[in-house]
Amino acid sequence: MHQQQFLNVIDRDEAERRFHAALELRPLGMETVPLGESLGRVVAAEIRAGVNVPSFDRSNFDGFAVKAADTFGATEERPRRLRLLPQSIATGAAPAYPVNSGECLSIATGSMLPRGADAVAMVEHTYADDDTLLVQRAVAPGHGVTFAGTDIATGEVVLRAGDLLTSRETGVLAAIGLSTVAVWRRPRVGILSTGDEILEPGQPMVAGGVYDSNARILADAVRELGAEPRMLGIARDDLAELDDRIGAALKDCDVVVLSGGTSKGAGDLSYRAISRLKDPGIVAHGVALKPGKPICLAVTGGKPVVILPGFPTSAIFTFHEFVAPVIRMLGGRHRENLGTVRARIPVKIQSEIGRTEYLLVGLVRNAEPAADGPGECGRSQTMYSAYPMGKGSGSVTSFSRADGFVTISRYDEIVPADTAVDVKLLGYNLDVADLVVMGSHCVGLDYLLGRLRDSGIRGKFLAIGSTAGLDAVRRGECDLAGMHLFDPVTGQYNRPFLGPDLLLIPGYSREQGILFRSGDPRFASRDIRRSLEAVLNDPRSLMVNRNQGSGTRVLIDRLLGGAQPPGYAIQPCSHTAVAVAISQGRADWGIAIRIVADQQGLDFLPLAWEQYDFTVLKSRNDTLPIRRFRDILDDARTADYLRNTGFRR
């Protein structure tokens, strides 16, 4: 048989376009697996937390639950004296006593904070003598306390469809109590080597023989992609045998990859067998690549069939160029990267002399590349901003959501803002988001980012608060900021805080109100003025506040008119933590949005509708991710979701 020539060599992009056009590039199907068997799988459906983590306000270390005000002014020379109550709060036990002024309770690491306490004094800074405790160092409200829901809030999206389950993510799922998880089915990839010269490793070498290294390389590459390799062995140079082997592979596999025999010489039979396939059959044979020109791409019955060149370098190059992306999409995965990236820390970091610190960070792409010299392989490096994942050592989400870590030397006490650093990636992926959102968290934003992901645009959110989000968008470190800042001068939300370089994207309204336990007689009138008078005039009534700088804190301070009732110093940073403190009886009232009251089974006394909006730099307003975000925000499905969730558009 004479040698045929490649008469229709096409470029790489055209070959990929034809190949993808003949395929349905979506996950193959969903299945539920035990959590213990889910490592390396891809999440198939959005996962929301059904519990709060932690589920109560807990102590961060061994010490004594105190009222912070009772410790003010304490020194080693002049300690503050407190009455030590008889109980020692152990982990898993409920406090038996409240903490009143001048009192304290011994508390273990991880134990529940008792009613009335707002801080924990470390055992190293105290001295106990019978029923008396001497406090030798003052603490601020909230010191040593992780508030309920600080790490994960009930209803919060912890994972989205398409997220890869590493040990970080499985830890999150265990923390919220899941025992099973819905994942995409792994693609089955058949790998068939061809040629009389091919030998199985372990066989004696013969003249003209070649050990089959391609099958091993490809099988392990398939595993790295989260798919299941099916090693189909070696087919000899016999067309009938090859037809049979390919037919059997197509019945059992989702993707079939052949190695060798793709050229058009007399002994190259793979392309002849593949040319018999229909629907549509071969879509490209010969691509302008070096190496990899002889690759043959085909599709039959919706399944890809690819003949890779026989030389190992060409085979693995073309596999990663054409086959790997298809396997990822069929398995619900995204593009993979690996290595170290250059970034800058946008905020000052304080470390501890004498200890090497590994700082978990989330990466966001800056508007412009860095001018800090060539990177690996002589390429200029893209500069990122590396935001610390600051939820503390007890957090399970900091590690799962971080992109990498920065090593701070044991000789460095401070890393100044804007310092350039190397970020070591935690895994193979650095899937930089198409749209980065920072600012105040909201479950409505979770929904919008999920919809955006479904449309093919990956969003990333960092909860840093409304004011910090506004600053970040001004610096170009994010695309959007979510905010609910009230201006008491104009009586408006958000718009008065924008400069001439920013645009407002109107969001939706959230109803704020007073949360309290059902049956509380102080709220029987259902009248705001009377209810406030009742709780402010009752010294036994404990409020739970919100953190300084939050939009809700502005509303609280306006409502109180300068008053600081008991509990005012307790300042968790989320609506959920407020609701949990009230439902568990550690506080009696607080202000939060209606949805968390419903989640915790609390009564709700409406105060006002606050506006949750987004802001964007004018220069980025017409980018595809922003346009898609606007479209989703404005469509009917979003309006239905917001209405059903208790929001107003």
Assign residue 326 the CATH number of its domain: 3.40.980.10
Do 484 and 524 share a structural domain?
A: yes
Three-state SS string across 561-573, please?
A: CCCCCCCCCCCCC
What's the sign of the alpha-carbon dihedral 529, 530, 536, 540?
negative
Nearest Cα residue to 45 out of 60, 62, 22, 27 = 27
Q: Which of residues 42 and 196 earns the better pLDDT score?
A: 42
C-alpha dist (Å) from residue 35 to 85, 160, 172, 173, 530 = 43, 16, 11, 8, 51
Do you find a cis peptide bond into 34, omega within 30 degrees of 0? no
- Choice among 115-129, 267-281, 295-309, 468-482 with the minimum mean pLDDT: 267-281
CA 574 vs CA 30, 130, 195, 507, 593: distances in Å: 34, 38, 64, 20, 10
Q: How far is CA 291 from the centre of its chain?
A: 38
Say yes or no to pLDDT of 174 above 70.
yes
pLDDT tens per residue, range 1-29: 344 444 477 888 898 999 999 999 999 99
Q: Tell me, what CATH number does 417's domain have?
A: 2.40.340.10
377 pLDDT band, cuts 50/70/90, is very low
Edge-first strand order for the sheet with 228-235 is 228-235, 188-194, 255-259, 303-308, 296-300, 280-285
Judged against a pLDDT cut of 60, whether residue 557 lies above it is answered with: yes
Res 395: pLDDT: 54
Please determine, for residue 66, whether its predicted confidence score (pLDDT) is greater than 80: yes
**CATH code for the domain of 560:** 3.40.190.290
In a shared domain, residues 502 and 644? yes
**What is the domain count for the chain?**
5
* Residue 466 forms part of a structural domain: no
Structural domain for 392, as ranges: 340-425
Question: Which DSSP state fits 403?
Answer: -
Residues 172 and 210 in one domain: no
Residue 135, domain CATH:
2.170.190.11
The enclosing H or E element of 48 equals: strand 47-48
Residue 292 CB burial class (10 angstroms; 0-12, 13-18, ≥19): buried
Residue with tokens 């099916």: 230
Tell me the pLDDT band of 370, cut-offs 50, 70 and 90: very low
CA distances to 46, 142, 267, 285, 309 from 306, in Å: 33, 61, 18, 10, 10
pTM, two decimal places: 0.71
Lowest mean pLDDT among 48-52, 124-128, 454-458: 454-458
Residues 208-219: what's their mean pLDDT? 84
Q: What is the number of alpha carbons within 13 Å of residue 33 lying toward its C-beta? A: 19
Domain boundary among 146, 176, 194: 146
> Distance between CA atoms of 122 and 286, rounded to whole angstroms?
71
Q: Are residues 211 and 284 both part of a single domain?
A: yes
Q: Are residues 322 and 210 in the same domain?
A: yes
Confidence band of 376 (pLDDT split at 50, 70, 90): very low
Q: Is the pLDDT of residue 255 over 50?
A: yes
Q: What is the pLDDT of residue 400?
A: 65
Is the same domain home to 320 and 180? no
* Calpha distance 447→442 (Å, rounded): 9
Question: Do 324 and 418 have their domain in common?
Answer: no
Same domain, 398 and 450: no
Beta-strand pair 435-439/180-184: unpaired
The pLDDT assigned to 372 comes to 47
Name 3's Cβ contacts closer than 8 Å, sequence gap at least 6: 264, 265, 266
What digits encode the pLDDT tens for the residues 580-624?
999 999 999 999 999 999 999 999 999 989 899 999 999 999 999
Give the least confident one: 247-261, 285-299, 497-511: 285-299
Residue 173 has pLDDT above 50, yes or no: yes
624 CB burial (10 A radius; 0-12, 13-18, 19+): exposed
SS3 content of the chain, % helix, strand, coil (to 5): 25, 30, 45
Tokens encoding 510: 């959230």
Across 512-530, average pLDDT: 92
The residue behind tokens 């009930």 is 154
Domain end marker among 284, 300, 330: 330
Mean pLDDT value of segment 291-319:
86
496 and 478 in a common domain: yes
**CA torsion through residues 591, 593, 599, 605, sign:** positive
Helix (H, G, I), strand (E, B) or coil at 551: helix
Residue 468 lies in a domain: no
Output the six-digit token pair for 534.
Answer: 């009742």
Residues 38 and 21 in one domain: no
Q: Is residue 5 part of a domain?
A: no
Tokens 């802001």: give the residue: 615
| 464 located within any domain | no
Q: Are residues 270 and 254 in the same domain?
A: yes
Please work out, in degrees rounded to the nearest 5, the angle formed at the alpha carbon of residue 339 by the alpha carbons of 376 and 625: 100
Kindly state the percentage of the chain with pLDDT values over 90: 55
How far apart (Å, rounded) are the C-alpha atoms in residues 485 and 496? 9
Residue type, 427: G
Tokens linked to 173:
């799922």
Least confident stretch, 31-45, 63-77, 383-397, 545-559? 383-397
State the pLDDT confidence band at 394, using cuts at 50, 70 and 90. very low
Q: Residue 390: what pLDDT? A: 63
Do you find a cis peptide bond into 291, omega within 30 degrees of 0? yes
Structural domain includes residue 430: no
- Do 356 and 372 share a domain, yes or no? yes
Tell me the pLDDT band of 393, cut-offs 50, 70 and 90: very low
